[in-house]
Amino acid sequence: MATHMKTTLEIASPLLKEVKSLARAEGTTVRALVERGLQLVLSERRTRRAFKLRDASISGKGMHPDSANHSWDEIRARSYEGRGD
């Protein structure tokens, strides 16, 4: 059994006027339209695909032999040699 909770919403006057008009025309209630809108938003969020980063790797056979046996700190220091001094 579903439980109901009374909630107060502040809706901009022009929007509320339009919603009331639509509810009258469709023979429904503002509450039903609000609930349907919330259901649509929730459904949209559930079906949204997760972001997947494209594979941007490059071909090659690993690190250059001159750098293969060095630590990351050494490689970084070598990449900045001669800059900023």
Q: What is the CA radius of gyration of the chain?
A: 30
Residue 24 forms part of a structural domain: yes
Residue 35 forms part of a structural domain: yes
Report which of 13, 15, 14, 32 is spatially closest to residue 23, judged by C-alpha positions: 32
Read off the pLDDT band of 69 (50, 70, 90). confident
Query: pLDDT tens digits for 11-53?
Result: 999 999 999 999 999 999 999 999 999 999 998 888 777 788 9
Q: What is the pLDDT of residue 58?
A: 83
Inform me whether the pLDDT recorded for 1 exceeds 80: no
Long-range contact set of residues 22-26: C-beta below 8 Å, sequence gap at least 24:
none
Q: How far apart are CA 12 and CA 16, in angstroms?
A: 6
User: Is the pTM value of this prediction over 0.85?
Assistant: no
Q: What is the pLDDT of residue 19?
A: 96
Residue 42 forms part of a structural domain: yes
Q: How far apart are CA 46 and CA 35, in angstroms?
A: 17
Give the residue numbers spanning the domain of 30.
13-47
- Number of domains the chain contains: 1
Residue 78 forms part of a structural domain: no
